[in-house]
Chain A
Amino acid sequence: MGYQLDFSKVLQGEYLDLILQGLQTTLILFAISWVIGLVLAVLLTVVRAIEFKPTQFLVAAFVEYHRNVPILIQLFVWYFGFAVVLPEAVNDYLNDVGAEIGYAIVALALNKAAYMSEDFRSGLRSIHPAQMEAARSIGLNYLGAMRWVILPQAWRLALPALLGQTLILFKGTSLAAGIGVAELSYQARYVEEQSFRIFEAYGLVTAIYMVISFAIMWGSSILSTRYRLRVK
């Protein structure tokens, strides 16, 4: 009466289709959230670098919220909370086009923007102020000094942390299952419930997650070595 492992059930037909659809959704969620997150992170870093207390405070508050509240709660706040302040017509439209994945992208992208902007800021802060003074003294203006001296070093310093965030985001996409996004882990659970093949369903999905995670890690190590600062 032992449990016979039998992968054939989840590796064919409808179940495999569901898992592949889930993988597609996971990758879409990951890619779009990453791009939006990175762009927003750059904006946040620039805004925070401006010497103006109110905007600095706002960015800091944004970052602290996203760093100190569990991502699942952030997803719920967007999915269930944001709908309350929108007019009904807008809600109905959003629900028809697929509110789940939309809100999931918004929540994940904002969360990553907060983390990545902190990484950029650390990169900037780890460059000695004397470098700015030196750059200005050879006749570069502020923007020029940033463009030619500071930023080329800062982004390299931030790179390992950014790549780490990329991996965390990839794994974080699975939390979107909590608001009904049919991504990889949601489908794994569904297949498990339907087929009663718990080990196979989760085993297959675990393998998929691991392959992609390792690919991200491998890419990260190559990029990190390639762009490591030789002189500091």
Chain B
Amino acid sequence: MRLKHILAAAIFAGAAGLSTIASAEQLNDIKAAGELNCGVLTNSPPLGFQDPKTREPAGYEIEICQMLAKYLGVTPKLTAVSPQTRMAELTQGRVDILSSLLSYSKQRAEQVDFSGAYVAEDFNFVVLDKSDITKVDDLAGQRIGLVKGSVLIPLTEKRVPDARVLSFETSAASFLALQQGKVKATVYRYSEGKAVERNAGADIKALRFLDEPLLSMPSGFAFRKGSPELVKATNTFLAELETSGEGQKLYDKWLGKDSELKAERKFEFGKPQESWFKE
């Protein structure tokens, strides 16, 4: 019994030793190692997903991280992370940088550093195409379905104070309520709304996005605290994407005119994310 404990302790100590994080400037470590380890999502098309043909991760966020590695003069390495664990994977040093749709928030900013935005997506009200609602103000007095605990609930109530918000357990239940006319509208991120339409099949009642966005949500790279040089280099890289037109090309390929989504770019590469959240 004692021996087991000692062995376990030894293994833990060894593992801890291996994963010790150098607290010095990370940019030097990355250049020395010749590798940038990006934490990416693998189930959020078109931002980060498994390419069914090559079985390799692909997508907007993956390509932008590869471009960043090239800019820093190192080779990119991709590590799959999940939305629930991504912050821990970064702070515990399993990845160097997150490229996984992480939006700025005050609480998060206490734990990690953020780059400027490399993507921003609008959230819009979605109604059934056949409904007579044409603008957000038409939703006054109507029922709007959302998911319990969503940050969109208070925002919706602020924007349409007379509407009745019903919250459901899951996104699927809220979608079904919209299909059955139990609610007149819901709110989707643009790419999410398109994905829902695609996944739900051809026999659903067509959806329609209302023009005026409820909010726009940026995402950018995230870093461990204490590497100002790396953050600075990344922000310079993003600013160059904006000026050189490379950023627009990348956007068009995955989200814009050359993609299924046909979304329109409404953000600047490298714009500080905090500026979205100023009231």
Residue positions of A touching B, CB distance < 8 A: 79-80, 83-84, 88, 91-92, 95, 99-100, 178-180, 182, 186, 189-190, 193-194
Task: Assess whether B167 is in contact with A180, with CB atoms less than 8 Å apart.
Answer: yes
B181 touching A92, Cβ below 8 Å:
yes
Of the residues A91, A178, A186, A193, contact of B181 by C-beta under 8 Å: A91
Contact between chains at A95 and B182 (CB < 8 Å) = yes
- Whether A180 pairs with B166 at a CB distance below 8 angstroms is yes
Complex formed: what's the CA distance from A80 to B153 in Å?
22
A residues less than 8 Å from B168 (CB atoms)? 178-180
B149, A193: Cβ atoms under 8 Å? Answer: yes
**Is B182 within 8 A of A99, CB to CB?**
yes
Q: Mark B163-187, 1 if CB is under 8 A from A, else 0.
A: 0001111000100110011100000
23 contacts between A and B (CB under 8 A): A79-B182, A80-B176, A83-B182, A84-B180, A91-B180, A91-B181, A92-B181, A95-B143, A95-B180, A95-B181, A95-B182, A99-B182, A100-B166, A178-B168, A178-B169, A179-B168, A180-B145, A180-B166, A180-B167, A180-B177, A182-B166, A189-B148, A190-B167
For residue B228, CB closer than 8 A to chain A, the reply is: no
Decide if B34 is an interface residue (CB 8 Å cutoff): no
Question: Which of chain B's residues have a CB closer than 8 A to the CB of A79?
Answer: 182
User: What's the Cα separation between A186 and B153 when bound, in Å?
Assistant: 14
B226 at the interface (CB under 8 A from A): no
Inside 8 A of A186's CB, which chain B residues have their CB? 167
Q: How far is the CB of B171 from chain A (nearest CB, A)?
A: 14
- A194 in complex: contacting residue of B145, B154, B177, B181, CB < 8 Å: B154
Question: B181 to A80, Cβ gap below 8 A?
Answer: no
Cα A95 to Cα B169 in complex, Å, equals 19
Known contacts: A189-B148, A193-B153. The answer to whether A83 contacts B166 by CB under 8 A is no
- B144-159: CB near A (< 8 Å → 1, else 0) gives 0100110001100000
Residue total for B at the interface (Cβ-Cβ under 8 A) = 16
Which residues of B sit under 8 angstroms from A99, Cβ to Cβ? 182
Q: In chain B, what residue has the closest Cβ to A83?
A: B180
Q: Which residues of A contact B173 (CB under 8 A)?
A: 80
In the complex, which residues of chain A have a beta carbon less than 8 angstroms from the beta carbon of B167? 180, 186, 190
User: How far does the alpha carbon of A88 sit from the alpha carbon of B182 in the complex, in Å?
Assistant: 11
Chain A residue nearest in CB terms to B145: A180
Chain B positions within 8 Å of A193 at CB level? 148-149, 153-154
* B159 → chain A closest CB, angstroms: 15
Contact residues of B between 181 and 203, Cβ < 8 Å to A: 181-182
In the assembled complex, the Cα of A180 lies from the Cα of B174 at a distance in Å of 10
Beta-carbon contacts under 8 Å, B41-67 to A: none
Contact of A80 among B143, B145, B180 (CB under 8 A): B180
> What is the bound-complex CA distance between A92 and B8, given in angstroms?
64
Task: Give the one of B153, B154, B181 with max A CB within 10 A.
Answer: B181
Question: B148 to chain A: which residues have CB within 8 Å?
Answer: 189, 193
Rounded to whole angstroms, the CA-CA distance of A179 and B182 in the bound complex is 11
Q: How far is the CA of A194 from the CA of B154 in the complex (A)?
A: 7
Closest residue on chain B to residue A80 by CB atoms: B176
Which residues from A are CB-within-8-Å of B154?
Answer: 193-194
Smallest CB gap from B174: residue in A: A180
Contacts of B176 in A (CB 8 A): 80
Chain B residues lying within 8 Å of A83, measured Cβ to Cβ, are: 180, 182
10 new A-B contacts at CB < 8 Å, known A91-B181, A189-B148: A80-B176, A80-B177, A92-B181, A95-B143, A178-B169, A179-B168, A180-B168, A190-B153, A193-B153, A194-B154
Q: How far is the CB of B15 from chain A (nearest CB, A)?
A: 31
CA distance A100 to B153 in the complex (A): 19
Question: What chain B residues lie within 8 Å of A100 (beta carbons)?
Answer: 166, 182
A78 shortest CB reach to chain B, Å: 12
Residues of B near A178 (CB, < 8 A) are: 168-169
Interchain CA distance A190-B180 in the complex, whole Å: 24
Chain B residues, Cβ within 8 Å of A88: 181
Q: Which residues of B contact A95 (CB under 8 A)?
A: 143, 180-182
Query: B182 — nearest CB in chain A belongs to which residue?
Result: A95
- Which chain A residue lies CB-closest to B143? A95
CA distance A79 to B168 in the complex (A): 12
Closest CB in chain B relative to A187 CB, distance in Å = 11
User: Please, what's the 1-or-0 string for B18-50, where 1 marks a CB less than 8 Å from any CB in chain A?
Assistant: 000000000000000000000000000000000
Query: Which residues of the other chain, B, contact A80 by a CB distance below 8 angstroms?
Result: 173, 176-177, 180
B13 CB to closest chain A CB, in angstroms? 32
